[in-house]
Amino acid sequence: GWMTATALRRLLYPELTIEVVESDEIGIIGVGEATIPPFRRHNELLGINEREFVCATQATFKLGIEFRDWTRPGDSYIHGFGPLGLDLDGQPFHQYWTRAMQLGVAKDLGVYSFNVQAAREGRFIAHPGRRTEEHAARGHCLRVSL
């Protein structure tokens, strides 16, 4: 509600007064404080500086979402944000990976994700407010303390 109201007012209807009606019966969901990469674009469109946002909300950086006990107890899967692999000869990476799966030679999909590898190694450096093509492609997002 708040994000939609802010975007509507800022981008489309600056002269409108928009009132958000909250319900005491609807609480914050467990992952409600976590974001996905499009959230950063939303803030960018609204002119919100990422560095200031991170400081104000005590946010931490996320490179993906880990699902523990994904297929069985002890198994985990990290859904990494950002691109997977590299396209070759104009063909999307996933086509090669799918074929490799059929042949039984594909590695775990996370091996081809920069963010999954960085998350597994606990390595990441953020440059809030610095937009470079390489940095933007990595697709990090934020976990916000509310």
Residue ranges per structural domain of the chain: 35-143
How far is C-alpha 138 from the geometric centre of its chain's CA atoms? 9
Compute the mean pLDDT over every residue in the chain, rounded to the nearest whole number.
84
pLDDT exceeds cutoff 50 at 35: yes
**Eight-state DSSP code of residue 34:** B
Over residues 140-145, mean pLDDT = 82
**Known active-site residue 107:** no
pLDDT exceeds cutoff 80 at 29: no
Q: Catalytic one among 62, 80, 82, 113?
A: 62
DSSP string, 56-122: HHT-EEESEEEEETSSSTT-EEEEESS-BS--BTTB-HHHHHHHHHHHT-PPPGGGGBHHHHHHHHT
